[in-house]
Amino acid sequence: GEWHGSGRSKVGKGCSCSTTGMRHEDYYLSGQFSEPENDAQQHYTETLVTLDGSAHCYDFATEEQLVATIRVNRENLGIPDDAVVYISGSNFYKITPEVAEVWTNIVAGTPNSRLVLYPFNPNWSSNYAVAAFQKRLAGSFARHGLSEEQLIILDCVPNRADVLERLKLGDVYLDSYPFAGATSLLDPLTIGLSTVAMGGSTFRSRMGLALLKELQI
């Protein structure tokens, strides 16, 4: 995304979470929490301008009142009441084999735990390699001696209210890395779900961390 300022300056911003690389873009607008402390300019062909905080701003004031179309609970998913449930809505494309390995290790290190994923956001794609994704993650779980019941992969749901409903299953929300979440983190933060994010050295790997820092959590 971009907007035209006064005169002939052109400004890119966080809708594109990396430099445009275009010589006619003059500035890139970001936030101090979203950039590394040392030499953030090296990642941009534009002149980097940083605002206080994360430089992320979301406004749902004009969004219609959404009503959940699903009712989900641990019982109907076969999750014990005393299980520790890690959950994530990180998109399919962000859950690389390295991310899957880390999350598998987390589950393996937590007795009586589950990993619940809902990675098939229709805003990203209408054609996901669902079977291959499920096979890859199931294989990772099997290599760590984890049972099939400890991995639950859910289909997409009609609206954000449904996402909030299924997040109530979780104890801890896991953000992806190195392509961190931003919009997807609004949902666990909305319901007060404990959220874990890892910060890296670029805007796209610091978005989740930036939101948590701005909220002072």
State pLDDT tens for residues 139-168.
999 999 999 999 999 999 988 999 999 999
Tokens of 1: 């995304």
Place of tokens 């999750």: 79
Q: H helices of 116-159, where?
A: 130-143
CA distance 45 to 109: 42
pLDDT of residue 1: 46
**List of residues 6+ apart from 165 with CB closer than 8 A:** 68, 70, 71, 72
Is the model's pLDDT at 113 over the cut of 90? Answer: yes
Q: Are 166 and 70 in contact (CB under 8 A)?
A: yes
pTM score: 0.88
Residue type at 122 in one-letter notation = P
Q: Which residue has the higher pLDDT, 89 or 14?
A: 89
CA distance 176 to 191: 19
34-43, 47-56, 59-68, 207-216 — which is least confidently predicted? 59-68
CA distance 174 to 116: 10
55 class by beta-carbon count within 10 Å (0-12 exposed, 13-18 middle, 19+ buried): buried
pLDDT tens column, 61-108: 767 788 889 889 999 999 999 999 999 999 999 999 999 999 999 999
Strand duo 113-117 + 27-31: pairing: unpaired
For residue 156, the 8-state DSSP code is P
Q: Count the Cβ atoms, other than its own, within 10 Å of residue 12.
A: 23
